[in-house]
Amino acid sequence: MKKILVTGGSGLIGSALKKISSNYSYEFIFLNSKDADLTNQEATKILFDLHKPDYVIHLAANVGGLFKNMNYKVDMFEKNLMINYNVIKSCYENNVEKSINCLSTCIFPNKTTYPINEDMLHNGPPHNSNDAYAYAKRMLEVQTTIYNNEKDTNYICVIPTNIYGEGDNYSLENGHVIPALIHRCYLAKKNNEDFIVKGSGKPLRQFIYSQDLAKLFMWTLENFREKTPLILSVKDEISIEKVAILISKEFNYEYRMKFDTSFSDGQFKKTADNTKLMNLIGDFQFTPIEEGIKNSVKWFIENYDTARK
């Protein structure tokens, strides 16, 4: 049985992959930061030598929401560069047949035309709010392309839009927008306070449910034959305001929602074009965001004591 090594295996996408892994005929090895420090080259080499994977799904990264990206740029840049360098080098040294490597739509140019597609990745600098993380992730795409061209490897970069779902990081300061809003609304209702949404609520985003994304990762591993990046995304955008309303309704607390416009909105929109994916995959049914948020809120309430936050 072929082995799939999953870095970042306890994170949001890794947890979703674990939930669906029994549907596939592979031996899955889910790793987390306790198994090895991937910023350390020797530790990464030992890990790969131990498991000898046939395939790698590389999810491990130093990640966070807008405010972490703005305030810890050196950390975001250096750690992600080291993680990606070590993982790709170890893939090559261990003859990994194929790797799927996770990027993000935030790495696209700030000043661009919309929708953005796979060919526009390096057409200009990213938004300055997350440029350190974005450049580190761009270098992962550069590194895999160089290996593919020179060493004839099969390393693929996929570009998900904003991910959410059960098992997310619900940190108020460093979590992404949906889990942070869920946590904030939970506390607001518990303490009988206003539910404060940072920013104006006007920015638009495409959100993909983590279990949908996990299925798309596996489809990419098994079916995607190109060596070029692939955007994994829903088509439709939704405003942060609408997301906050959906969350507040799950808590029956929408009447106490307010916006604090003293906080930055970040990039107004970064619409991604999923045409390439849909032309290849056909009729894929994405989970409606109403259902995904309902599941995410329910999970957080039921797992409040142990949830990452």
Which residue out of 85, 133, 147, 155 is catalytically annotated?
133
Residues 6+ apart with CB under 8 A from 68: 76, 173, 174
133 given a catalytic annotation: yes
CA-nearest of 121, 91, 81 to 104 is 121
- What does the alpha-carbon distance between residue 293 and residue 240 come to, in Å, rounded to a whole number? 13
Any residues with CB less than 8 A from the CB of 185 and at least 6 apart, and which?
195, 244, 247, 248, 251, 253
Q: 131: how many CB neighbours lie within 10 A of its CB?
A: 20
Between vectors from CA 39 to CA 33 and to CA 45, what angle results, nearest 5°?
85
Q: In what helix (H) or strand (E) does residue 85 lie, and over which residues does it extend? A: helix 73-93
Active site residues: 133
